[in-house]
Amino acid sequence: MRLLHLITKVDPRAGGPIEGVLRIHEALVALGHESELVSLDDPAAPWVRDCPAPLHALGPSRGAYQYNPDAVAWLRAHAGRYDAVIVNGLWQYAGFAAWRALRSAPTPYFVYTHGMLDPWFKRRYPLKHLKKWLYWPWAEYRVLRDAAAVIFTCEEERLLARQSFWLYRAREVVGSYGTSEPPSDAAALSEAFLARFPELRGKRSLLYLGRIHEKKGGDLLVDAFARVATESPELQLVMAGPGDKRLVAQLQNRATELGVAGRITWTGMLQGDLKWGAFHSADAFCLPSHQENFGIAVVEALACGKPVLISDKVNIWREIVQDGAGLVAPDTLAGTVDTLQRWLALSPTEVAAMRLAARRSFRDRFQVEQVAQTLVRIVSERAPGPGSAAPADARPAKAAMLPESQ
């Protein structure tokens, strides 16, 4: 099978979607399939040059919406070379370009929403949601309606997606998502990370790794850490990831006010061996997010055998609880404090059991080879395209709809 992954940007600073796409690409190739990427990036961008997968960069694109006048023509000209196009994400021009180019084409397209229909955004940004309503019926609604399937990474994401817009129709299917096995030389990777950040040597460290963004609950984590830090003098918090400089400064100022600035290490963005070294040297991974579709970093922590301390707004929280791979609480200060205190109260035997459960959860649910096989199966079953009758498990779910002629 030959698949084309369409994504707005391949910049690793954009977070989980591009990381997931690259891991799925690697797994598809390893399974004997062909896989390429197309993005709306400027071909001169450094992350385009460094992309490890075959990439067609169609930019530069315009504005926050990333409008690209060449995208539709390129897709119409080249889509026939592929069995399917996989659209990653909503609310930017890439998905609408796929709809314009492929809605009546022999090559079907599929959509991963990556949590971008989560009702949290409606509640947190009501004015932005109103703005989205102005073009939802004419763009994203159609992108979803005419896709061969809209692939959700877990059941929680599928159910939440129905709550954002009453005008909604999609051929829903729950697939899976995950990442590849981490590098195996844990001791060397951990040592390299500790050499870079020697203040962590000999400490018990809690790791946050991801974008520094308000939805991720960084403020909750800093405040909760300050609550438990006095009880555990050996505890250190690692805040790793790129983010808005103003928000990072606010969090750092808050740490100073709470008297824990010296016990928080801010690493900036970590990639490659340093990223894996951060995971391997940590005692647990923390993500008290207010909204998290899947959380690639959560799965990476599981792959490294690390317990995950997360909120119940991380959509795979049920799987974590079922597998005993971590601790879960509400996305509040009290909930975040609760997960930290419960983890600190675990005996060494209980911690060891949770580490084993984390690895088992990754192996059984989130290995990217399984994700790639599931994607191939979904595409194969629906290869005739959106004009054909959908299988029983993928009939359009709808709350209300425009006339089909629109």
Whether the per-residue pLDDT at 187 is higher than 90: the answer is yes
Domain assignment present for 296: yes
Handedness of CA 137, 214, 243, 321 (dihedral sign): negative
127 with 194, same domain: the answer is no
Domain assignment present for 76: yes
Domain assignment present for 405: no
CA distance 96 to 140: 7
Instruction: State residue 186's pLDDT score.
Output: 95
Domain assignment present for 144: yes
Beta bridge partners of 2: 34
201 with 62, same domain: the answer is no
pTM, full prediction: 0.82
58: region left, alpha or beta (phi > 0 left; psi from -120 to 50 alpha): alpha
122 with 51, same domain: the answer is yes
Instruction: State residue 219's pLDDT score.
Output: 97
Mean pLDDT of 115-130: 90
At 201-241, the pLDDT tens digits run 999 999 999 999 999 999 999 999 999 999 899 999 999 99
Whether the per-residue pLDDT at 391 is higher than 90: the answer is no
34 with 102, same domain: the answer is yes
Q: Are 5 and 88 in contact (CB under 8 A)?
A: yes
388 with 336, same domain: the answer is no
119 with 203, same domain: the answer is no
Whether the per-residue pLDDT at 399 is higher than 60: the answer is no
Banded pLDDT at 136 (limits 50, 70, 90): very high
CA distance 287 to 331: 9
Mean pLDDT of 314-318: 93
CA distance 144 to 147: 5
Of 89-103, 111-125, 385-399, the least confident? 385-399
Domain assignment present for 406: no
Question: At 248, which amino acid appears?
Answer: V
20 with 112, same domain: the answer is yes
CA distance 146 to 163: 19
Locate 64 and state its tokens.
Answer: 């926050």
CA distance 125 to 130: 9
Own/partner contacts of 315-323, CB < 8 Å, gap of 24 or more, are 315/115, 315/153, 315/154, 315/156, 315/157, 315/160, 316/154, 316/156, 317/156, 318/156, 319/154, 319/361, 319/365, 320/361, 323/357, 323/358, 323/360, 323/361, 323/364, 323/365
CA distance 20 to 38: 15
Banded pLDDT at 384 (limits 50, 70, 90): low
197 with 88, same domain: the answer is no
Domain assignment present for 246: yes
209 with 347, same domain: the answer is yes
| Residues in the chain, total | 406
Banded pLDDT at 107 (limits 50, 70, 90): very high
Banded pLDDT at 388 (limits 50, 70, 90): very low
Whether the per-residue pLDDT at 374 is higher than 60: the answer is yes
Banded pLDDT at 4 (limits 50, 70, 90): very high
Q: How many domains does the chain have?
A: 2
Q: If you average pLDDT over every residue of the chain, what do you get?
A: 92
Instruction: State residue 397's pLDDT score.
Output: 54
232 with 298, same domain: the answer is yes
Domain assignment present for 219: yes
Instruction: State residue 195's pLDDT score.
Output: 97
Give me the domain span that covers residue 196.
186-366
Domain assignment present for 37: yes
At 33-89, the pLDDT tens digits run 999 999 999 999 999 999 999 999 999 999 999 999 999 999 999 999 999 999 999
374 with 361, same domain: the answer is no
190 with 81, same domain: the answer is no
List the CATH number of the domain containing 163: 3.40.50.2000
